[in-house]
Structure 1
Amino acid sequence: MINYGIIGAGMMGQEHIRNIQLLGDARVDAIMEPDLEQRGRAGAIAPDAVMVDSVRDLLARQSVDVLLIASPNHLHVRQMEEIAAIRPLPLLVEKPLFVMPEESARIADLAARYPAPIWVAMEYRYMPPIAMMLERLEAATGGLRMLTIREHRFPFLDKVGAWNRFNASSGGTLVEKCCHFFDLMRLATGAEPVRVMASGGQAVNHLNEVYDGHVPDIWDNAYVIVDFDSGMRAMLELCMFAEGSRYQEHLSAVGPTGKIEALVPGPTRFWPERLGAPPVPQVVLSPRDGTGEQVLDVPVDPTLLDAGDHNGSTFYQHRKFLAAVQSGGPVEVSLADGAKAVAMGLAAQKSAETGEAVRL
């Protein structure tokens, strides 16, 4: 039995707790969550877990085997450094790894000296339709040439202290939300980005909100084009005032012999009951040889859908993370992967702000 220590038990931390409980060979031993309301909710999900008041107190519990960081984005680096200094246990840390460009050097230092595995939580890799698309990508396309990712979704949800409404604490939309997609671009292309061009802004959401005298500056829409060193290119289209969409994510990969797409619904809990059953995830193959389109349903276990908002991927991610910890094998999403995804997001925001392409 593997005992988890949880650092940050807000909305995403609670999703992690529910999925850890489904693993069978893991449990939540201790939780560090300073907000009393969120602490109460997390305690209701994991009533046997001990509540502690600091990262140091959590690390003092010798029963804890592995750690999860699901705190607000701007806390990740300092919490990882504190863990490294006190008791560097195997660690799963939520994206994004960091929010400020100057923090990248601190991440590189952690990567060089941290003695245990650190896995960056990139849940979108493990959504079943996206995982199937990635597995079949080469055969379906004959070699990827163009990749398009579209996310049409709901606005940012309410978080403690409204930290996700401001660039300074979230990293900005193209870091906080979209590092998932930049990670997928690198994974699908097998290449590294060399140039980023973007346009984005705040058009609809949060314009009438005020927190401590400040109006949110978080963006709600963007286009991003990324050129890779292999000659491939990828594009992201984001709209966060489109929750009426049947599918939330639509990925399309094209090559000389065909196209493959992944269609991912949004969280089941947001699907209106009056519309009937929520849509089933799909993978669509469209070869160029005239044999016709093939549509594959990729249903997800309802238990996993009920445990979180990420199409079952949080469960699959934890299962792989624990396998790496137990076997001593490598992690699938490294600190370098997490850092490069953030660098792409920061470059996209800079491009949108300046109107110029940014070279990496």
Structure 2
Amino acid sequence: MAVNETVKYGIIGVGMMGREHLINLHHLRTQGVVVVCIADPHLPSQQLALELAKSFDWPLKVFSGHQELLDSGLCDVVVVSSPNMTHYQILMDILNHPKPHHVLVEKPLCTTVADCRKVVNAARKRPDMLVQVGLEYRYMPPVAKLIEIVKGGTLGQVKMVAIREHRFPFLVKVNNWNRFNSNTGGTLVEKCCHFFDLMRLFAGANPVCMMASGAMDVNHKDEIYDGKVPDIIDNAYVIVEFDNGARGMLDLCMFAEGSKNEQEISVVGHTGKGEAFVPESIVRFGSRMEGRDGVQTLKTENRLIKYEGLHHGSSYLEHLNFLSAIRVKGAKTPAADLNDGLISVAMGVAAQLSIEKGRFVNIEEVLDEHNC
């Protein structure tokens, strides 16, 4: 695709996150981007997306289903931001469609490892299409800076990665689909695939086994939908062992609005330590040799970001990266690919299973297709 050629996007699922993608793409209009169509069976979401697009002077073709959007032939790239449990069928329909569409799919890739594997296998048969998974936390400026510091060897060989997310409860989504494990894959898949992805990046390794403890202790206990009480956990501790000897730990709490930072990341190598704080956008790092007095503090920013949005500019950078990969297809692969999506889901599934079984779970247990 030529550098100056207009890239036409379609968005499947225009709920909260789909509209966030629409706004981000509007801020990329100077890069030759235009959204031409959307698909969503939910009329209020359609209307909100149309109002946004009208304010951008983007006329949209509206479809109630994703198959109609694909058959229209209107777009080159599809953003899949529909509910988690719909990703598998939508992705398979895209990958099996005669017309190639590049795809940015929101995390998690799918809600089960088996479905992720089927998508990965189907994508191998479509070398004419790029698929990027929406693991955009790696683009947040303080996180990206800490990744740079770690990869540069400043901290030595990484031994421990600790990620704390203390935040607000799950937001209300269309038809409250995100209140149930069967729809989301479970909290540790739905929310925490981001953090498992980051742990892999920092550790430079793949997971071997996981141990988790978690429960639904505070949130959503007084809610009932179609006679059912939500079953998503709202807090957990998760330990991960990696194949290079590194260890990771996740500390998740979703009733911790009284926090200065939503995410705190600590990476400790054999010669130093680094930390990242979101949304303060601060990075700290120091060496064992220099001690406390040698710790440096950096305020991070990325001047490429034109829109901060819901994720501190990371969604904008994610789109910028994917657009670059599309324009130089064959010379650059998506930053977060299908294997990253698969492993991040497998780690979440293993953690959920560990809570259920009360024991360590080997990652091979969930990656083994016979057990999927």
TM-score, reference length from structure 2: 0.90
Contact 1:300–1:311, Cα closer than 8 Å, also in 2: no
Q: Which residue of 2 aligns with 1:15?
A: 20
Q: How does 1:259-338 map to 2 (within 5 A)?
A: 259-265=273-279, 280-290=280-290, 291-299=293-301, 304-305=307-308, 308-328=309-329, 329-338=332-341
The yes-or-no answer on 1:108 pairing with 2:120 is yes
Distance 2:221 2:269 in 1: 41
Q: Which runs of 5+ in 2 are unaligned?
A: 1-5, 364-372
Deviates more, 1:104-113 or 1:227-236: 104-113
Q: Which residue of 1 aligns with 2:230?
A: 216
Q: Which runs of 5+ in 1 are unaligned?
A: 266-279
Q: Which residue of 2 aligns with 1:272?
A: none
Distance 2:155 2:357 in 1: 35
The structural deviation recorded for 1:173 is: 0.1
Deviates more, 1:286-295 or 1:20-29: 286-295
Distance 1:213 1:245 in 2: 34
Contact 2:40–2:66, Cα closer than 8 Å, also in 1: no
The yes-or-no answer on 1:74 pairing with 2:85 is yes
Give the letter for the 1:190 counterpart.
G
The yes-or-no answer on 1:59 pairing with 2:73 is no
The yes-or-no answer on 1:356 pairing with 2:363 is no
Contact 2:38–2:60, Cα closer than 8 Å, also in 1: yes
Distance 1:101 1:294 in 2: 41
Deviates more, 1:295-304 or 1:214-223: 295-304
The yes-or-no answer on 1:6 pairing with 2:11 is yes
The structural deviation recorded for 1:142 is: 1.4
Contact 1:197–1:224, Cα closer than 8 Å, also in 2: yes
Q: Which residue of 2 aligns with 1:119?
A: 132
Contact 2:159–2:247, Cα closer than 8 Å, also in 1: yes
User: CA-atom RMSD, angstroms?
Assistant: 1.4
Contact 1:107–1:339, Cα closer than 8 Å, also in 2: no
Contact 1:13–1:70, Cα closer than 8 Å, also in 2: yes
Contact 2:91–2:119, Cα closer than 8 Å, also in 1: no
The structural deviation recorded for 1:75 is: 0.4
TM-score, reference length from structure 1: 0.92
1:96-138 deviation digits (Å, cap 9, x = unpaired): 0111243233123223213311001101010011000000114
Distance 2:145 2:194 in 1: 17
Distance 1:352 1:22 in 2: 42
**How many percent identity over aligned positions?**
46
The yes-or-no answer on 1:207 pairing with 2:228 is no
Contact 1:140–1:258, Cα closer than 8 Å, also in 2: yes
Q: How does 1:217-236 map to 2 (within 5 A)?
A: 217-236=231-250
Distance 2:288 2:306 in 1: 38
Which SS does the other structure have where 1:150 is aligned? Answer: strand
The structural deviation recorded for 1:303 is: 5.2
Q: Which residue of 1 aligns with 2:153?
A: 139
